[in-house]
Amino acid sequence: MIYSTELIKGTLKTIVLKLLADNKKMYGYEITQRVKELTFDKIQISEGALYPTLHALESEGLLVTEVEYIGKRVRKYYSLSPSGKSKSKEKLSELADFIETMKLLLDLKVKTA
Amino acid sequence: MIYSTELIKGTLKTIVLKLLADNKKMYGYEITQRVKELTFDKIQISEGALYPTLHALESEGLLVTEVEYIGKRVRKYYSLSPSGKSKSKEKLSELADFIETMKLLLDLKVKTA
DNA sequence: TACAATACATCGGAATCTTATGTATTTTCG
DNA sequence: CGAAAATACATAAGATTCCGATGTATTGTA
Protein backbone atom coordinates (compact mmCIF):
# COMPACT_ATOMS: atom_id res chain seq x y z
CA MET A 1 0.00 0.00 0.00
CA ILE A 2 1.23 3.44 -0.90
CA TYR A 3 -0.58 6.12 1.03
CA SER A 4 -2.80 8.54 -0.75
CA THR A 5 -0.64 11.60 -1.02
CA GLU A 6 -2.96 13.88 0.88
CA LEU A 7 -2.26 11.95 4.05
CA ILE A 8 1.37 12.87 4.03
CA LYS A 9 0.71 16.56 3.66
CA GLY A 10 1.94 18.57 6.54
CA THR A 11 4.27 15.92 7.92
CA LEU A 12 7.15 16.46 5.54
CA LYS A 13 8.92 19.18 7.49
CA THR A 14 8.68 17.14 10.64
CA ILE A 15 10.04 14.04 8.95
CA VAL A 16 12.98 15.97 7.56
CA LEU A 17 13.77 17.60 10.89
CA LYS A 18 13.54 14.26 12.67
CA LEU A 19 15.85 12.51 10.23
CA LEU A 20 18.39 15.28 10.53
CA ALA A 21 18.16 15.15 14.30
CA ASP A 22 19.09 11.49 14.16
CA ASN A 23 21.66 11.64 11.45
CA LYS A 24 23.80 14.71 11.88
CA LYS A 25 23.90 15.50 8.16
CA MET A 26 22.09 14.19 5.12
CA TYR A 27 21.60 15.22 1.52
CA GLY A 28 18.32 15.47 -0.33
CA TYR A 29 18.40 12.32 -2.34
CA GLU A 30 19.53 10.41 0.71
CA ILE A 31 16.50 11.62 2.63
CA THR A 32 14.09 10.36 -0.01
CA GLN A 33 15.80 6.97 -0.02
CA ARG A 34 15.96 6.72 3.75
CA VAL A 35 12.30 7.46 4.15
CA LYS A 36 11.49 4.92 1.47
CA GLU A 37 13.55 2.28 3.28
CA LEU A 38 12.31 3.03 6.75
CA THR A 39 8.68 2.94 5.69
CA PHE A 40 9.02 -0.14 3.48
CA ASP A 41 8.19 1.90 0.40
CA LYS A 42 4.99 3.18 1.89
CA ILE A 43 6.11 6.77 1.93
CA GLN A 44 7.89 8.06 -1.12
CA ILE A 45 8.85 11.68 -0.95
CA SER A 46 8.91 13.28 -4.35
CA GLU A 47 11.78 15.56 -5.21
CA GLY A 48 9.35 18.24 -6.23
CA ALA A 49 8.16 18.25 -2.64
CA LEU A 50 11.46 17.75 -0.89
CA TYR A 51 13.73 20.34 -2.42
CA PRO A 52 11.41 23.29 -1.94
CA THR A 53 10.91 22.14 1.64
CA LEU A 54 14.63 21.96 2.30
CA HIS A 55 15.08 25.41 0.84
CA ALA A 56 12.28 26.74 2.97
CA LEU A 57 13.71 25.24 6.14
CA GLU A 58 17.07 26.68 5.26
CA SER A 59 15.71 30.16 4.69
CA GLU A 60 13.94 29.90 8.04
CA GLY A 61 17.36 29.37 9.57
CA LEU A 62 16.59 25.85 10.74
CA LEU A 63 19.05 24.13 8.43
CA VAL A 64 22.59 24.86 7.36
CA THR A 65 24.27 23.46 4.28
CA GLU A 66 27.67 22.38 3.15
CA VAL A 67 28.49 21.35 -0.36
CA GLU A 68 30.65 18.37 -1.17
CA TYR A 69 31.92 17.07 -4.47
CA ILE A 70 31.67 13.37 -5.24
CA GLY A 71 33.74 13.26 -8.38
CA LYS A 72 32.18 15.98 -10.48
CA ARG A 73 28.76 15.62 -8.91
CA VAL A 74 27.56 18.11 -6.36
CA ARG A 75 26.16 16.86 -3.11
CA LYS A 76 24.50 19.27 -0.74
CA TYR A 77 24.47 18.24 2.88
CA TYR A 78 21.93 19.62 5.27
CA SER A 79 22.22 19.69 9.03
CA LEU A 80 20.29 21.23 11.90
CA SER A 81 21.17 24.67 13.19
CA PRO A 82 20.72 25.27 16.93
CA SER A 83 17.25 26.64 16.33
CA GLY A 84 16.62 23.72 14.02
CA LYS A 85 17.36 21.34 16.86
CA SER A 86 14.80 22.86 19.17
CA LYS A 87 12.32 23.16 16.32
CA SER A 88 12.83 19.50 15.60
CA LYS A 89 11.92 18.53 19.15
CA GLU A 90 8.96 20.85 19.06
CA LYS A 91 7.54 19.51 15.80
CA LEU A 92 8.19 15.98 16.89
CA SER A 93 6.31 16.17 20.15
CA GLU A 94 3.51 17.91 18.34
CA LEU A 95 3.30 15.09 15.82
CA ALA A 96 3.49 12.45 18.55
CA ASP A 97 0.67 14.18 20.36
CA PHE A 98 -1.31 14.48 17.15
CA ILE A 99 -0.92 10.78 16.50
CA GLU A 100 -2.26 9.93 19.94
CA THR A 101 -5.20 12.20 19.35
CA MET A 102 -5.90 10.58 16.01
CA LYS A 103 -5.79 7.17 17.62
CA LEU A 104 -8.49 8.29 19.99
CA LEU A 105 -10.58 9.44 17.07
CA LEU A 106 -9.96 6.23 15.18
CA ASP A 107 -10.83 3.88 17.99
CA LEU A 108 -13.79 5.79 19.23
CA LYS A 109 -17.02 3.88 19.52
CA VAL A 110 -19.32 6.77 20.11
CA LYS A 111 -23.02 6.36 20.16
CA THR A 112 -25.26 9.32 19.62
CA ALA A 113 -25.96 10.81 23.03
CA MET B 1 -1.90 22.70 22.48
CA ILE B 2 -3.71 23.32 19.22
CA TYR B 3 -2.03 21.61 16.33
CA SER B 4 -0.45 23.60 13.58
CA THR B 5 -3.03 23.46 10.87
CA GLU B 6 -0.83 21.80 8.31
CA LEU B 7 -0.75 18.63 10.40
CA ILE B 8 -4.45 18.08 10.03
CA LYS B 9 -4.45 18.46 6.29
CA GLY B 10 -5.56 15.41 4.46
CA THR B 11 -7.23 13.77 7.43
CA LEU B 12 -10.52 15.61 7.31
CA LYS B 13 -12.34 13.30 4.92
CA THR B 14 -11.28 10.30 6.94
CA ILE B 15 -12.43 11.86 10.18
CA VAL B 16 -15.81 12.69 8.72
CA LEU B 17 -16.29 9.23 7.27
CA LYS B 18 -15.29 7.63 10.55
CA LEU B 19 -17.66 9.74 12.60
CA LEU B 20 -20.51 8.93 10.26
CA ALA B 21 -19.66 5.25 10.39
CA ASP B 22 -20.03 5.37 14.16
CA ASN B 23 -23.02 7.66 14.37
CA LYS B 24 -25.49 6.78 11.67
CA LYS B 25 -26.31 10.41 10.87
CA MET B 26 -24.83 13.73 11.84
CA TYR B 27 -25.10 17.32 10.71
CA GLY B 28 -22.23 19.66 9.95
CA TYR B 29 -22.17 21.74 13.05
CA GLU B 30 -22.49 18.61 15.14
CA ILE B 31 -19.40 17.17 13.50
CA THR B 32 -17.28 20.19 14.35
CA GLN B 33 -18.43 20.04 17.97
CA ARG B 34 -17.96 16.30 18.28
CA VAL B 35 -14.42 16.48 16.99
CA LYS B 36 -13.68 19.34 19.35
CA GLU B 37 -14.98 17.32 22.29
CA LEU B 38 -13.33 14.06 21.39
CA THR B 39 -9.96 15.69 20.91
CA PHE B 40 -10.18 17.93 23.98
CA ASP B 41 -10.18 21.02 21.80
CA LYS B 42 -6.99 20.00 20.06
CA ILE B 43 -8.63 19.66 16.68
CA GLN B 44 -11.06 22.34 15.66
CA ILE B 45 -12.53 21.90 12.23
CA SER B 46 -13.40 25.19 10.62
CA GLU B 47 -16.68 25.50 8.81
CA GLY B 48 -14.89 26.78 5.76
CA ALA B 49 -13.12 23.43 5.62
CA LEU B 50 -15.98 21.20 6.63
CA TYR B 51 -18.83 22.26 4.38
CA PRO B 52 -16.92 22.06 1.12
CA THR B 53 -15.69 18.64 2.22
CA LEU B 54 -19.19 17.42 2.98
CA HIS B 55 -20.41 18.66 -0.38
CA ALA B 56 -17.51 16.95 -2.10
CA LEU B 57 -18.17 13.65 -0.35
CA GLU B 58 -21.81 13.94 -1.27
CA SER B 59 -21.10 14.60 -4.93
CA GLU B 60 -18.78 11.58 -4.91
CA GLY B 61 -21.79 9.56 -3.84
CA LEU B 62 -20.32 8.64 -0.46
CA LEU B 63 -22.83 10.58 1.59
CA VAL B 64 -26.56 11.06 1.41
CA THR B 65 -28.49 13.89 3.01
CA GLU B 66 -31.82 14.52 4.60
CA VAL B 67 -33.04 17.91 5.71
CA GLU B 68 -34.81 18.48 8.98
CA TYR B 69 -36.37 21.59 10.42
CA ILE B 70 -35.71 22.54 14.00
CA GLY B 71 -38.23 25.31 14.38
CA LYS B 72 -37.44 27.52 11.41
CA ARG B 73 -33.83 26.52 11.28
CA VAL B 74 -32.58 24.08 8.68
CA ARG B 75 -30.54 21.14 9.75
CA LYS B 76 -28.89 18.96 7.12
CA TYR B 77 -28.12 15.43 8.19
CA TYR B 78 -25.47 13.40 6.46
CA SER B 79 -25.16 9.65 6.48
CA LEU B 80 -23.04 7.08 4.68
CA SER B 81 -24.21 5.54 1.45
CA PRO B 82 -23.24 1.90 0.82
CA SER B 83 -20.16 3.01 -1.08
CA GLY B 84 -19.49 5.49 1.69
CA LYS B 85 -19.38 2.64 4.18
CA SER B 86 -16.75 0.73 2.32
CA LYS B 87 -14.83 3.92 1.60
CA SER B 88 -14.90 4.68 5.29
CA LYS B 89 -13.29 1.36 6.13
CA GLU B 90 -10.76 1.84 3.40
CA LYS B 91 -9.70 5.31 4.47
CA LEU B 92 -9.66 4.27 8.07
CA SER B 93 -7.34 1.33 7.65
CA GLU B 94 -5.15 3.50 5.49
CA LEU B 95 -4.91 6.11 8.21
CA ALA B 96 -4.31 3.49 10.89
CA ASP B 97 -1.53 2.04 8.77
CA PHE B 98 -0.12 5.48 8.14
CA ILE B 99 -0.05 6.21 11.84
CA GLU B 100 1.88 3.02 12.55
CA THR B 101 4.34 3.93 9.85
CA MET B 102 4.77 7.41 11.30
CA LYS B 103 5.42 5.91 14.71
CA LEU B 104 8.23 3.90 13.22
CA LEU B 105 9.67 7.04 11.72
CA LEU B 106 9.28 8.94 14.95
CA ASP B 107 10.93 6.36 17.14
CA LEU B 108 13.68 5.53 14.78
CA LYS B 109 17.17 5.76 16.18
CA VAL B 110 19.06 5.38 12.97
CA LYS B 111 22.75 5.90 12.83
CA THR B 112 24.41 6.63 9.54
CA ALA B 113 25.39 3.29 8.05
C1' DT C 1 26.42 1.54 -25.00
C1' DA C 2 22.05 2.11 -23.47
C1' DC C 3 19.59 2.24 -19.25
C1' DA C 4 19.14 2.84 -14.43
C1' DA C 5 20.52 5.23 -10.59
C1' DT C 6 22.31 9.27 -8.44
C1' DA C 7 21.72 14.26 -7.52
C1' DC C 8 20.47 18.69 -8.04
C1' DA C 9 16.55 21.94 -9.36
C1' DT C 10 12.25 24.52 -11.08
C1' DC C 11 7.46 25.19 -12.46
C1' DG C 12 2.41 24.95 -13.64
C1' DG C 13 -1.38 23.30 -11.72
C1' DA C 14 -4.27 20.74 -8.34
C1' DA C 15 -5.93 20.06 -3.91
C1' DT C 16 -6.90 21.54 0.56
C1' DC C 17 -7.44 24.53 4.19
C1' DT C 18 -7.72 29.48 6.42
C1' DT C 19 -9.84 33.65 7.18
C1' DA C 20 -13.36 36.49 6.30
C1' DT C 21 -17.84 37.32 5.28
C1' DG C 22 -22.78 36.61 4.91
C1' DT C 23 -27.55 35.20 6.44
C1' DA C 24 -30.71 33.75 9.82
C1' DT C 25 -32.61 31.62 14.08
C1' DT C 26 -32.47 30.35 18.90
C1' DT C 27 -30.76 30.42 23.51
C1' DT C 28 -28.75 32.49 27.49
C1' DC C 29 -27.64 35.75 30.84
C1' DG C 30 -27.26 40.11 33.06
C1' DC D 1 -36.00 42.66 27.80
C1' DG D 2 -32.21 43.16 25.00
C1' DA D 3 -27.50 42.09 23.73
C1' DA D 4 -24.42 38.64 23.06
C1' DA D 5 -23.36 33.96 22.26
C1' DA D 6 -24.46 29.82 20.20
C1' DT D 7 -26.49 27.31 16.53
C1' DA D 8 -26.53 26.31 11.54
C1' DC D 9 -26.03 26.81 6.97
C1' DA D 10 -22.94 28.60 3.07
C1' DT D 11 -19.42 30.85 -0.20
C1' DA D 12 -15.13 32.98 -1.78
C1' DA D 13 -10.43 34.92 -2.13
C1' DG D 14 -6.08 33.72 -1.06
C1' DA D 15 -2.19 30.91 1.02
C1' DT D 16 0.07 26.75 1.50
C1' DT D 17 1.61 22.54 0.18
C1' DC D 18 2.27 18.96 -2.73
C1' DC D 19 2.13 16.38 -7.42
C1' DG D 20 3.75 15.44 -11.84
C1' DA D 21 6.44 16.82 -15.40
C1' DT D 22 10.51 18.44 -16.99
C1' DG D 23 15.35 19.68 -17.17
C1' DT D 24 20.48 19.02 -16.56
C1' DA D 25 24.34 16.28 -15.57
C1' DT D 26 27.20 12.46 -13.75
C1' DT D 27 28.06 7.70 -12.48
C1' DG D 28 27.26 2.80 -12.27
C1' DT D 29 25.64 -1.45 -14.44
C1' DA D 30 24.26 -5.03 -17.51
* Domain presence at residue A53: yes
What does the alpha-carbon distance between residue B88 and residue B21 come to, in Å, rounded to a whole number? 7
**pLDDT digit string (tens) for A57-80?**
999 999 999 999 999 999 999 999
Q: What is the pLDDT along chain B (113 residues), one digit of tens a residue?
A: 667 677 888 899 999 999 999 999 999 999 999 999 999 999 999 999 999 999 999 999 999 999 999 989 999 999 999 999 999 999 998 888 888 899 888 774 444 44
What does the pLDDT average to over A105-112?
58
Q: How far is CA B27 from the centre of its chain?
A: 13
Choose the closest CB to A15 out of B19, B94, B105.
B105
* Domain presence at residue A50: yes
What does the alpha-carbon distance between residue A89 and residue A91 come to, in Å, rounded to a whole number? 6
Q: Kindly report the length of chain B.
A: 113
* Domain presence at residue A88: yes
* Domain presence at residue A11: yes
Q: How would you list the strands of the sheet with A73-80, edge to edge?
A: A25-27, A73-80, A63-70
Are the beta carbons of A96 and B106 separated by less than 8 Å?
A: yes
What does the alpha-carbon distance between residue B113 and residue B109 come to, in Å, rounded to a whole number? 12
Using a CB-CB distance cutoff of 8 angstroms, which residues of chain B are in contact with residue A39? 101, 104-105
* Domain presence at residue B43: yes
Into how many domains does chain B fold? 1
In A1-113, DSSP assigns E strands to 25-27, 63-70, 73-80
Domain span at B82: 5-107
Q: For residue A9, what is the domain's CATH number?
A: 1.10.10.10
Pick the residue from chain B with its C-alpha nearest to A4.
Answer: B94
* Domain presence at residue B59: yes
Q: What is the pLDDT of residue B68?
A: 94
* Domain presence at residue B9: yes
- Helix runs in A24-64, H state only: 28-38, 47-59
* Domain presence at residue B113: no
Number of Cβ within 10 Å of residue B29's Cβ equals: 13
Q: Tell me the ipTM for this assembly.
A: 0.87
